[in-house]
């Protein structure tokens, strides 16, 4: 056959490449573009959902916290006034001091007002005594009517000031009662400047965020041209929220259109209801802007496909055979790295870019190995620091009370042994260990005259001492890593029969974490010396606790306590050992039913 009829192998190679690589690459790229287009569209919806949900959660949490603070303030006013706010009693200096302290401690509060049953008023805050206009007075009248019926009240948003000085206020109130009877109310005008700031932070690009009430009126928005109280129901997304049954928490995202300046604008919007306020957080964005990345991705994908085809042809012409083996090696090593094996290195003798790529790959592997090791070290150090901080905080509480020094460490040890004996998962045991270490942290907020009192507490002092559970939970609630430990801190003085505190929970309503710490706490209280008793033997302590099984303590947990005691896993202070040898029957009879730890 003549050489002119020969087909160069390069042409054959290119033909095969086009048949088995370039054409599939084109269809694969088209398919990827279509898939990613849908994903990007979904991501834009998720972004709006995330923004509105975050703002919703922030508003709901702030409202919940404010109601809790107002409840605490109401209790403080009841205690300080002796339940008497009539006549001149409402103007008592200590009550005004409570109001002023509340305002100074709460930056978002513009003004606070205390009304007695005769509508006599004292106020404190940043607005001044004459700042309340007719609308604000009317809101206070509505709040008074709600308080008379024993209800909290959340009012309509009100605009105060004008121009750059304009602020949006909303009234939140709670009744003040004494002995079950209405004696007055506390009303707080909350400044929503924090909400405007958050809305402005998330309103980036052409995204617009705002908050509406159940009537579809604007509460506040990032755009200063939108006035509080403006009707926003021209947007379909707002109309959908208004039509939604009250109290539902469903988030909705949808496409809709609105006419602006005789022009139809296509929008993508999301609302997230805030049921406790009957508000909704709304985010919306023109669809052209929302889906701009999709169009850009499509253009980029087409160009990428063209360049990929061209590059594939050039590489095939120049070094098709030489590139296959190195790339295969790199792929294998990449998979090893993906599995966490950083010991592999690419051994490739080449002075080409492939060789340089292999060297770079090896350097990258070294860096990744060091980086992962550094991350692990840093994580271990952070965990150690976190646990040390917890132990120091618990130690500080124990040091404050000379009668309970080392109490938190012992309760932690007992609780951990109990949780282990009960077969709880390691993660749960670790949570119980931390909760036990911090179970008495609320005693930081108890006055020394009560905490360090050498004798028996009076009923009033005992009631104050009981608040250490809720104080501890409130102190630690802002710490995200400790959220799951709060039940053990707040509920470790609850009893199975509902006679405990602070909430009077019964049976299975009490989390197992709290039930374990309750037994450990009581055991240590009986086996260590306190102002009201001397340390008693462990065997007697267990016998005493067993007598309250099903009433105050969980039978399974008490059985676990007895088991670990019989195994000799408990270790006691020298005072406990001495008590075991010297306890008389008269001393045993003198032990109270439950020791206050």
- Percent of the chain at pLDDT > 90 equals 23
Q: Which helix (H) or strand (E) holds 116?
A: strand 109-116
| Model pLDDT, residue 580 | 44
Q: Is 5 exposed, middle or buried (0-12, 13-18, 19+ CB in 10 A)?
A: exposed
- In this predicted structure, the answer to whether residue 425 has a pLDDT above a threshold of 90 is yes
To which residue do tokens 């009250």 refer? 246
Give the lowest-confidence range in 258-262, 307-311, 489-493.
307-311
Q: Which positions ≥6 away from 109 have C-beta within 8 Å?
A: 102, 103, 125, 188, 189, 190, 191
| Model pLDDT, residue 488 | 92
Measure the CA–CA gap between 118 and 96, rounded to whole angstroms: 18
CA distances from 541 to 227, 544, 584, 596 (A): 67, 5, 14, 14
- In this predicted structure, the answer to whether residue 199 has a pLDDT above a threshold of 70 is yes
- In this predicted structure, the answer to whether residue 546 has a pLDDT above a threshold of 90 is yes
Query: Taking Cα atoms as reference points, which of 420, 428, 433, 359 lies closest to residue 390?
Result: 433
Query: Taking Cα atoms as reference points, which of 268, 277, 127, 284 lies closest to residue 199?
Result: 284
Give the lowest-confidence range in 293-297, 565-569, 584-588.
584-588
Structural domains in the chain plus CATH codes: 82-191 (3.30.450.20), 380-589 (1.10.3210.10)
Measure the CA–CA gap between 55 and 192, rounded to whole angstroms: 13
| Model pLDDT, residue 556 | 95
| Model pLDDT, residue 588 | 46
- In this predicted structure, the answer to whether residue 592 has a pLDDT above a threshold of 80 is no
Q: Which helix (H) or strand (E) holds 38?
A: helix 23-81
The mean pLDDT of 349-372, rounded to a whole number, is 71
The mean pLDDT of 385-408, rounded to a whole number, is 67
- In this predicted structure, the answer to whether residue 331 has a pLDDT above a threshold of 90 is no
To which residue do tokens 């508000």 refer? 279
- In this predicted structure, the answer to whether residue 498 has a pLDDT above a threshold of 50 is yes
Give the lowest-confidence range in 74-78, 204-208, 414-418, 570-574.
570-574
- Alpha helical stretches, state H, 111-157: 134-148
- In this predicted structure, the answer to whether residue 577 has a pLDDT above a threshold of 70 is no
The mean pLDDT of 565-572, rounded to a whole number, is 83
Q: What is the pLDDT of residues 127-158, one digit of tens each?
A: 755 556 777 888 889 989 998 988 999 888 88
pLDDT-based confidence at residue 460 (cuts at 50, 70, 90) = very high
**243 is written with which tokens?**
């039509």
3-class DSSP assignment, residue 410: helix
The mean pLDDT of 370-381, rounded to a whole number, is 70
**341 is written with which tokens?**
């094996």
pLDDT-based confidence at residue 379 (cuts at 50, 70, 90) = low
Query: Is the CB of residue 406 less than 8 Å from the CB of residue 398?
Result: yes
| Model pLDDT, residue 1 | 43
| Model pLDDT, residue 548 | 95
Cα dihedral 386, 390, 396, 399 in deg (nearest 10): -130
Query: Is the CB of residue 461 less than 8 Å from the CB of residue 467?
Result: no
What residues does 158 pair with on adjacent strands?
A: 169
**347 is written with which tokens?**
């051994």
Nearest 5°: the CA angle 224, 230, 231 is 135
| Model pLDDT, residue 594 | 44
- In this predicted structure, the answer to whether residue 53 has a pLDDT above a threshold of 80 is yes
- In this predicted structure, the answer to whether residue 82 has a pLDDT above a threshold of 90 is no
The mean pLDDT of 164-176, rounded to a whole number, is 86
Top-ranked range on mean pLDDT: pick from 17-26, 220-229, 483-492 = 483-492
Give the lowest-confidence range in 235-239, 291-295, 584-588.
584-588
Measure the CA–CA gap between 270 and 211, rounded to whole angstroms: 11
The mean pLDDT of 294-309, rounded to a whole number, is 70
- In this predicted structure, the answer to whether residue 584 has a pLDDT above a threshold of 60 is no
| Model pLDDT, residue 506 | 93
Q: What is the pLDDT of residues 93-120, one digit of tens each?
A: 898 898 888 888 888 888 888 888 888 8
Query: Taking Cα atoms as reference points, which of 151, 63, 68, 72 lies closest to residue 108?
Result: 63
Give the lowest-confidence range in 1-10, 290-299, 307-316.
1-10
pLDDT-based confidence at residue 351 (cuts at 50, 70, 90) = low
| Model pLDDT, residue 168 | 87
3-class DSSP assignment, residue 188: strand
| Model pLDDT, residue 5 | 55
Query: Is the CB of residue 516 less than 8 Å from the CB of residue 581?
Result: no
């Amino acid at each position: 056959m003549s050489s002119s009829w020969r087909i160069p192998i390069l042409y054959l190679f290119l033909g095969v490449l086009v048949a088995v690589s370039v054409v599939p690459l084109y269809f694969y790229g088209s398919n990827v573009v279509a898939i990613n287009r849908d994903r990007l569209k979904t991501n834009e919806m998720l972004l709006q959902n995330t923004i509105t949900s975050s703002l919703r959660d922030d508003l709901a949490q702030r409202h919940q916290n404010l109601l809790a603070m107002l409840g605490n303030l109401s209790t403080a006013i009841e205690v300080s006034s002796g339940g008497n706010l009539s006549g001149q009693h409402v103007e008592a200096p200590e009550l005004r001091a409570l109001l002023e302290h509340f305002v100074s401690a709460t930056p978002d509060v513009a003004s606070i007002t205390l009304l007695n049953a005769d509508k006599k008023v004292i106020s404190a805050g940043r607005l001044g005594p004459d700042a309340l206009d007719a609308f604000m007075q009317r809101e206070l009248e509505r709040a008074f009517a709600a308080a008379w019926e024993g209800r909290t009240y959340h009012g309509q948003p009100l605009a105060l000031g004008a121009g750059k000085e304009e602020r949006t206020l909303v009234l939140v109130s709670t009744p003040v009662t004494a002995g079950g009877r209405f004696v007055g109310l506390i009303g707080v005008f909350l400044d929503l400047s924090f909400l405007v700031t958050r809305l402005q932070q998330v309103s980036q690009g052409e995204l617009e965020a705002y908050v509406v009430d159940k009537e579809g009126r604007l509460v506040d928005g990032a755009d200063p041209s939108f006035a509080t109280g403006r009707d926003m129901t021209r947007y379909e997304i707002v109309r959908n929220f208004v039509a939604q049954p009250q109290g539902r928490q469903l988030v909705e995202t949808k496409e809709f259109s609105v006419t602006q300046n005789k022009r139809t604008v296509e929008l993508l919007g999301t609302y997230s209801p805030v049921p406790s306020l009957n508000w909704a957080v709304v985010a919306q964005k023109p669809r052209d802007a929302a889906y701009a990345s999709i169009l850009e991705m499509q253009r980029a994908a087409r160009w990428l496909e063209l360049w990929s085809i061209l590059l594939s042809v050039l590489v095939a012409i120049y070094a098709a055979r030489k590139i296959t083996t190195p790339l295969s090696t790199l792929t294998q090593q990449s998979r090893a790295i993906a599995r966490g094996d950083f010991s592999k290195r690419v051994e490739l003798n080449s002075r080409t870019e492939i060789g340089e790529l292999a060297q770079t790959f090896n350097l990258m592997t070294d860096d990744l190995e060091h980086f992962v090791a550094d991350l692990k070290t840093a994580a271990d150090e952070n965990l150690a620091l976190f646990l040390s901080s917890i132990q120091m905080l618990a130690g500080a509480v124990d040091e404050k009370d000379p009668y309970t020094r080392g109490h938190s460490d012992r309760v932690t040890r007992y609780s951990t042994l109990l949780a282990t004996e009960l077969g709880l998962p390691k993660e749960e045991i670790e949570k119980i260990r931390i909760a036990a270490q911090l179970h008495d942290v609320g005693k930081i907020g108890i006055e020394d005259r009560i905490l360090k009192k050498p004798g028996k507490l009076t009923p009033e002092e005992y009631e104050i001492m009981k608040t250490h559970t809720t104080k501890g939970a409130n102190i630690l609630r802002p710490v995200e890593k400790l959220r799951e430990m709060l039940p053990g801190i707040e509920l470790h003085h609850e009893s199975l029969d509902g006679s405990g505190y602070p909430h009077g929970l019964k049976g299975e309503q009490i989390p197992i974490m709290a039930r374990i710490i309750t037994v450990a706490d009581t055991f240590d209280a009986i086996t260590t010396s306190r102002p009201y008793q001397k340390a008693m033997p462990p065997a007697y302590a267990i016998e005493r606790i067993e007598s309250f099984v099903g009433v105050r303590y969980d039978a399974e947990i008490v059985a676990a306590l007895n088991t670990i005691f019989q195994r000799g896993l408990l270790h006691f202070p020298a005072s406990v050992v001495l008590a075991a040898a010297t306890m008389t029957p008269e001393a045993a009879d003198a032990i109270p039913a439950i020791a206050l730890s």
